Amino acid sequence: LVEFESAGELRDIFAELKPEKWYVLGEGNNTLFTRDYDGVLLTPVARGREVISEDDTMAMVRVAAGENWDEFVAWCVDRELWGVENLSAIPSSVGAAPVQNIGAYGAEVKDVISTVEYFDVETLEVVRLANADCEFGYRESCFKHALRGRGIILAVEFKLSKIARPNLGYGDVIAEVEKRGGATLRNIREAICDIRSSKLPDPKVLGNAGSFFKNPVVEREVADALTQQYSDMPRYGVPTDETKVKLAAGWLIDRSGLKGYRDGSVGVHDRQALVLVNHGGATGGEVLHFAEFVCSVVRTKFGVEIAPEVNIL
């Protein structure tokens, strides 16, 4: 495992070590190891948050890849900068956020990213990539495809608003925010932190990799047929494609009878079916095998394919 702070250090690593196999490991919350990794693990440790430009309505903020994501969100809330508050309490490093296009409670990080700066391991140069060129999609970006194995994120620049722009599209959030007295930045952050802590296990207490599965996107006809059979099934539009519908993987797993189900040391969390937990002693291989079992049960019951969101090594 090699820690790095700068493009210069990465240039030395790839010029001298020339690793054939490597992987960037931030805080590790979205990675499942199924065996010992036979390559170089690169961990960003650079820190830094700064406002690089601003006016009366917005601020452009540059953040180093090694910064803790939730600490960055708290920093924004303290400075009355809107845009990332709905993404509170997501365990991540800032550098990992654009890779997955992290999202929660009606917000995605792509909505506030201006530029991603990365190191190209082939040219050994630093590249600045505008939002429009990052190929952002639902839990997707070019860093998982075209730049996978080539780009190492160094910093991210965010365009944040100084004007209040509450995003309260989720019922749980609205109710919790109202309980606290209304839609201030701090109330929204506190509400989301409380909701997440009530539904999701703390990885420091119960081993897990957060939401293990992505919400599946299906043809509208498939969703319509399922809705006729299951009238309470949640469904969401896909802004970029009116022919597709996004379903809730957690609901599908729950209605498959797997919420709280356990096989040995691996199980489905009893409060949030999207989360697989390690009750102690389970190997990465056992977790992967259990995940495949969950996928097969959902496929049999609903005819819908769900897929892991975590990176599996």
Catalytic annotation, residues: 139, 211, 309
d(CA 79, CA 59): 10
Please, what is the end-to-end C-alpha distance for the chain in angstroms?
Answer: 15
Closest CA to 6 of 53, 66, 57, 68: 66
User: Measured on CA atoms in the order 72, 100, 213, 26, is the torsion positive or negative?
Assistant: negative
Measured in degrees and rounded to the nearest 5, phi and psi for residue 259 equal: -60, 120
Measured in degrees and rounded to the nearest 5, phi and psi for residue 47 equal: -120, 155
Measured in degrees and rounded to the nearest 5, phi and psi for residue 195 equal: -60, -45
Measured in degrees and rounded to the nearest 5, phi and psi for residue 203 equal: -60, -20
